[in-house]
A = this chain, B = another copy of it.
Amino acid sequence: MQSKINRLEINKNILNAAITEFSQHGYIGASTQAIARRAGLAKSQLHYYIGSKEALYQRVLGTLFEAWGEIFEFDSQKSSSPADIISHYIDLKLNFALQNKELSRIFTVEIISGGKSLSQFWPDAMVRMSSNIEVINGWIKEEKIRALDGRLLMMNIWALTQYYADYALQAEVILEGSLEDPVLQEKVRKELNDLILLGCGLTPP
């Protein structure tokens, strides 16, 4: 059905426009005016589709957490070494940041704004985080990794990967190149792996 396809495309346009605007200006700072313009719709038309600004924002947050849910848990095959698991996790998180900069930034802006819209997403996210921390604590007991604090390790990996979404502008000035460049991406990937694995007392591949 033609109308259904259009409907889907309009929704995709709106979602993308909303991600761009909310990521740049936060919930309060973004305007439905600007979102409508970016989506190529009249403001009244936009409101017809989204219901309310708040509802649209929740949809955007939902999109983000759905995607993150799939990459946030350690892929811990019994056969894998701590170095492999951590390295794989870094790669996934970094790739998501590099390929979904605006979506990633929305979380940062929301946290800085006080995080009041995150209440429904915290529990799931914390469960995954805790499960990873348990795995790390297991490694420490088996002396497969130095006696660090698993919570801080997870947070530090977060900080290092999230940086390349939030601070892409700064990074590209300092590196004098584009983060879209696969060569630069690989350089960042390798450097993060080396820093963190060595920092954990492990040997990078």
Contact = CB atoms under 8 A, between A and B. Distances in A.
B111 A167 contact: yes
A10 interface: no
A194 interface: yes
A13 B201 CA distance: 48
Contacts of A27: 29
Given A148-B191, A198-B198, A166 B112 contact: yes
A201 B175 CA distance: 23
A109 interface: yes
A71 interface: no
A23 interface: yes
Q: How many chain copies does the complex carry?
A: 2
B198 A152 contact: no
Interface in A161-205: 162-163, 166-167, 169-171, 173-175, 187-188, 191-192, 194-196, 198-201
Interface residues of A, number: 50
A50 interface: no
Given A159-B159, A173-B126, A114 B24 contact: yes
Contacts of A23: 112
A195 B29 CA distance: 37
A156 interface: yes
Interface in A8-43: 23-29
A158 B169 CA distance: 14
Contact of A29 (B28, B108, B162): B28
Nearest to A201: B198
B122 A112 contact: no
Nearest to A192: B156
B191 A156 contact: yes
17 contacts: A25-B26, A26-B26, A28-B29, A108-B112, A111-B167, A111-B169, A126-B174, A149-B191, A155-B167, A156-B192, A158-B170, A159-B160, A159-B162, A159-B167, A195-B195, A195-B196, A195-B200
